[in-house]
A and B are shown apart, each in its own frame.
Chain A
């Protein structure tokens, strides 16, 4: 604690902060550019100047940069000082001498930090009369637009991209008044976290290209608090809609999960919801019908069935899955994961929910000082974790600074102290990963061998955990190095998950975490899961998918209801075909056209995550609510897509469910582990000052004219019975000074703060938790000590001859995720399907550029990719890619030239 005096008033602040941060924490506005809560201070822009005085008697004072000055006890400063104000006005004018003043055509306009700061400093008119320096822009790929003339040289972009995100292909060139931020050569930005540039850059240099063609100003979009559906991290997002299309996805700050940053898949993968060929009307045998006709047909099929079974979905909400389970009964409710994946998710639940080490939050991961990633390429399977692990590695800079008594916000000093040093990160995986660049050591091996390595590490940490028989010397040495680093760490972190497809790998990871936990309470653990709501589905305890397919194939069941699931992604084609061939009636509820909807007699069009309300459970066991961004029917009354749970509530009329709260409440009551889901966000009755919370900013314009092409009279705004949000600019919008609950913040805006920096106005302290608590409700109450897992697998033995190879799933950031991979910009960024083969095996397989791969009887021709890292005897197939067959864990493929 420190006492500081600002403009004659006394305040208590955290003495470890700099003055800028301390003042912002107090709600005092100082304009700034180069400082960013996640990036620290560099003192580059000079915008945050204040007057500093020696003591209360000093009347002269001197100008200092508040971001570079510690908030030490007894500091006297003035923000309002005339000279400081004049200085700041001059700085912004100076920074803008080359700026084109092109706000009307700039896509940053309306959520621009430069606009906000210019208004704040009251720089109203410019006096620069000379020629401006101009730059040529680069094509940076499908995600990010580039308009260098707008640059004010704050250096935030390179500090984020290079230092924070570990990217190597964005730099700064030139010097003095002629600096250029971009790639050395034009081309697609390589980092999977490039999209954050659009929010980090305080000007319109880097903007969202996916938004560009169908552009709408921030104040003219309608928003809702939403959750990214592209992995199990569950980053909080703020999607914006206009005219019935999602136009942009921006970060929605969460103090324990995504903080200020998203990954590119989550940010740019929304396009699937705007696809024209999505089911938006009920279909019977492919022909559009009314909802009533479709429901009647579905009811008839269900009533006339000898036996109805249902398959749930890890990409559908808890409510949707619960409604389906209620309709058919728990014994007939089947898992939407592939069979083995379902087992893996169950195991993960057991480890994280019931074990002694709960899942570590993303923010806490950044504090780890030794990390082992076992079996995962987290940049693909849980991307936001990878960004956090990069901060953990860099965290050594903070420790070095601490030793030298340097404040941790001194970004340049930290980087100078750190040089290329870092906290140890170990990556053990089946093939090279996108985190290898920060790894102190990497191990490449088949899943069995990764598990053996893990078990050996655990055994070194605690001899009472099972030993690994017949471990080779090299692996033993690797295990020793990893165990030593983890044992020496103050906050060791283990990350594993379902990505390697192996129970043994996850069990080994659990043993390591548990062995560490016995000695070190600060041990962290995180297990990644296949999809956004994998836990939510698993907690409803579905039966294994294989049993469903078998019941259908054998005729034990004749009618199938499928919820938001493309079965062809969950089992070999032949198995699904055989099952569906026997089905009398197939009803599919989905928002996306899949091979399964193509086979259905009845298709009921579901809402996407953007169009509906529901609850999902992330890798930590955090229940999070996503809210409907807009009502499609407002634009076109014939559109029929509604939440899957709503279709099911109508089909199951006896349930009495009318609104979201009814079904969420019913599920919470019926399923003990899910009791907390009602607390994920306030219910429909919640009001502030008697008002619902407005989805639209109060400056939303043009609503009267929106449907004028259909009728000149303005129709009533849609009513939202399910949530405390209104489809309108009417309602509570935060202008009155009361906080909206964090889970109900549709977008960030505060008076004078239009840019994403306005999130800083809603935190308990800058960069910390949101006021009132970060969104979501943790469902896991903390487990107990468990017995170690004891099934140490035998080492992988490649078949040395013939054409048989073990198939390993390779996870890629772009292209494997079912929904985002349908978005055009993601498709542009994704690689084509391929088969990876170890260099040593090229001759044995006889491949030459192309290979014919046969898995479970399915034959595909794929281009080959020769890998120097893939273990011999294995081939890698990109998981979830179109054109790549379904692969069960442990399956062999035959590979031959061709």
Chain B
């Protein structure tokens, strides 16, 4: 047991900063309890609880897993499984605005790649990255139901369609 293996902590890997100990706010706690009350098994509120945290903090910090899992009566590992399965639960901090570019089949056929390239050039980031000023994060997303008007993307909760390399820059620039 003498040679410890080279070990990198997952937390360090993703560039997360070590924050102060995480404490659930009363407000978060109440709303999660409320969510749990909807189901016969608290576990079923896992996604809801994660969304509650994300709505307030923009993402789900590491420290949230343990106390939220406890409320749900599951292990932190199980909750992290849920959190990491869904691409719209953010386990890293994101920018003020999240640009979600549809890369599903129809949009792909009608010009997704050009849209992506344009955004990359304009924002200087690619999928999974955040601009240095913290304004934008860029992510791929599955079909958002606008296939007939593709290519399409979402900025935060807004849908934008009929994109072209020419109009897309203006669209995202509207988000300060």
Contacts and interface: CB of A to CB of B under 8 A. Distances in A.
Given A139-B5, A171-B81, A420-B41, A185 B10 contact: yes
A172 B86 CA distance: 13
A185 B80 CA distance: 10
A168 interface: yes
Contacts of B87: 175
A139 B4 contact: yes
B7 interface: yes
B41 A142 contact: no
A168 B77 contact: yes
B77 to A, nearest CB: 3
A245 to B, nearest CB: 15
Contact of A184 (B2, B4, B65, B86): B65
Contacts of B11: 185
A169 interface: yes
Contact of A170 (B8, B9, B65, B77): B77
Given A142-B1, A213-B2, A420-B41, A171 B7 contact: no
Given A139-B5, A173-B80, A175-B85, A168 B10 contact: no
A852 interface: no
A209 B7 CA distance: 14
Chain A contact-residue range equals 20 to 34
A137 B9 CA distance: 8
Interface string B50-68: 0000000000001001000
B76 interface: yes
A145 interface: yes
Nearest to B78: A171
Given A168-B74, A173-B81, A137 B2 contact: no
A171 B80 contact: yes
B1 A825 contact: yes
A213 B80 CA distance: 32
A432 interface: no
Nearest to B40: A419
B60 to A, nearest CB: 12
A83 interface: no
Give the residue among A162, A184, A210 with the most B Cβ atoms within 10 A.
A184
B77 A137 contact: no
B174 interface: no
Interface string A820-832: 0000110010000
Interface string A156-186: 0000001000001111111100001001111
A184 B82 CA distance: 11
Given A168-B75, A184-B80, A136 B8 contact: yes
B17 interface: no
A326 interface: no
Contact of A213 (B3, B13, B74, B85): B3
A528 B25 CA distance: 48
Nearest to A271: B1
A186 B84 CA distance: 16
B85 A174 contact: yes
Contacts of B84: 173-175, 180
A171 B11 CA distance: 16
A138 B8 CA distance: 7
Give the residue among B3, B13, B81 with the most A Cβ atoms within 10 A.
B81
A19 B122 CA distance: 56
A216 B89 CA distance: 44
B58 to A, nearest CB: 20
Contact of A137 (B4, B7, B80): B7
Interface in B1-55: 1-5, 7-11, 13, 41, 43
A180 to B, nearest CB: 8
Contacts of B80: 171, 173, 184
Interface string A858-886: 00000000000000000000000000000
Nearest to B9: A186
Interface string A415-429: 000011000000000
Contacts of A213: 1-3
Interface string A190-216: 000000000000000000011001000
Given A136-B13, A184-B65, A185-B10, A145 B76 contact: no
Nearest to B65: A184
B7 A139 contact: yes
Contacts of B85: 173-175
B1 A419 contact: no
B78 A145 contact: no
A136 B8 CA distance: 7
Nearest to B85: A175
A184 B77 contact: yes
Contacts of B7: 137-139, 186
A790 B10 CA distance: 60
Contacts of A136: 8, 10, 13
A171 B75 contact: yes
Nearest to A172: B81
A824 B8 CA distance: 24
Contacts of A138: 7, 10
Contacts of A137: 5, 7
A184 B76 contact: yes
B1 A824 contact: yes
A171 B77 contact: yes
Contacts of A168: 74-75, 77-78
A184 B11 CA distance: 10
Nearest to B2: A213
Contacts of B9: 185-186
A144 to B, nearest CB: 11
Interface string A130-157: 0000001111001001000000000000
Nearest to A420: B41
Contacts of A171: 75, 77-78, 80-81
B61 to A, nearest CB: 13
A168 B74 CA distance: 8
A169 B81 contact: no
A253 B37 CA distance: 46
A162 B43 CA distance: 15
A249 to B, nearest CB: 16
A138 B10 CA distance: 8
A137 B75 CA distance: 20
Nearest to B83: A173
Contacts of A209: 1
A168 B5 CA distance: 24
A169 B13 contact: no
B1 A828 contact: yes
B20 to A, nearest CB: 17
A145 to B, nearest CB: 7
Given A136-B10, A175-B85, A169 B75 contact: yes
Interface string B114-148: 00000000000000000000000000000000000
A419 B7 CA distance: 36
A170 B74 CA distance: 12
Nearest to B74: A168
B22 to A, nearest CB: 13
Given A138-B7, A142-B1, A168-B77, 7 more contacts: A136-B8, A139-B4, A168-B78, A169-B77, A171-B75, A186-B10, A419-B41
12 contacts: A138-B7, A139-B4, A168-B75, A168-B78, A169-B75, A173-B85, A184-B77, A186-B9, A186-B10, A209-B1, A210-B1, A824-B1
Q: Which 8 A-B pairs have the closest CB atoms?
A: A168-B75, A171-B77, A173-B84, A184-B80, A184-B76, A171-B81, A184-B77, A139-B7
